[in-house]
Structure 1
């Protein structure tokens, strides 16, 4: 494991913005809106990488250069030392982004989060609009 640590600098970097459908190309999205997913997190991207049996490392202390409020990125190793891919279905950064964006909406943490929210929004009146700016 120790010999892999210096090599982590050569791994592919995936920022959540790259596959975020809420962002524009100018803001950093790298795939089409149709294929992108809504507000992915580093842990969801990491879980998708482990699903594809790819070695990955989540870096919490890093921020995206175009939007420094977006903290965190995932480093992924696509190919072994001899150049053979870890997963033959994913050999490029673009393929990885497309596959991850496809999987994130079905992430277990995401599906559990959305179900209670959907039932809560239909039941009863919401309190939105109650708290605004204080008038001077």
Structure 2
């Protein structure tokens, strides 16, 4: 990892919207909806890149140009200085997006969130008109 920080501008940019199955191609999705995952985050993408042994840097302060509600992006380095691939299985940006989209649903943070969401949805929290007490 020595000496790579100045070259971060040359790294591939991966916005979460590129692999979001909830978005259309017009909104910025770059892979098929069937292979994409639901609402990925920068942290999940960064963790997946680490798992794939590919250097990455999360830029949480950056916005997606077409939709300023989408916060954050991940810079990924596919090749070393001498041109060899960090991970021989990932030779292109598209290949990287497909592999990351496969891994995100199995991300440890995501499985915990789904369990918590399932537990909270059964507790019956619902928004009713003007506040007040919940009926039980």
Q: CA deviation at 1:29?
A: 0.2
The alpha-carbon deviation at position 114 of structure 1 amounts to: 0.6
- Residue 122 of structure 1 and its aligned partner are, at CA, apart by 3.3
**Aligned-pair distance for 1:77?**
0.4
Distance of aligned partners of 1:61 and 1:126 in 2 relative to their CA distance in 1, 3 Å threshold: closer
Query: 2-side partners of 1:80 and 1:50: how far apart?
Result: 15
> Partner of 2:102 in structure 1?
102
The TM-score, its normalising length taken from structure 1, stands at 0.89
1:2 Cα shift?
6.6
Partner of 1:78: 78
Question: Structure 1 regions of 5+ residues with no counterpart?
Answer: none
Equivalent position of 2:14 in the other structure: 14
Give 4+ residue runs of structure 1 displaced > 6 Å after superposition: none
Distance 1:61 1:119, change over 3 A: closer
Please name the residue that 1:115 is paired with: 115
Secondary structure at the aligned position of 2:67 is classed as coil
Q: Which runs of 5+ in 2 are unaligned?
A: 131-136
Secondary structure at the counterpart of residue 120 of structure 1: helix
Give how far 1:95 is off: 0.4
**Cα-Cα RMSD:** 1.4
SS at match of 1:68: strand
Range moving further from structure 2, 1-10 or 110-119: 1-10
Identify the residue that residue 91 of structure 2 maps to in structure 1: 91
Q: How many Å separate the matches in 2 of 1:63 and 1:126? A: 32
- Report the secondary structure of 2:43's partner residue: helix
Number of residue pairs the alignment of both structures matches: 130
Question: How far did residue 60 of structure 1 move?
Answer: 1.2
Task: Give 1:6 deviation, angstroms.
Answer: 2.0
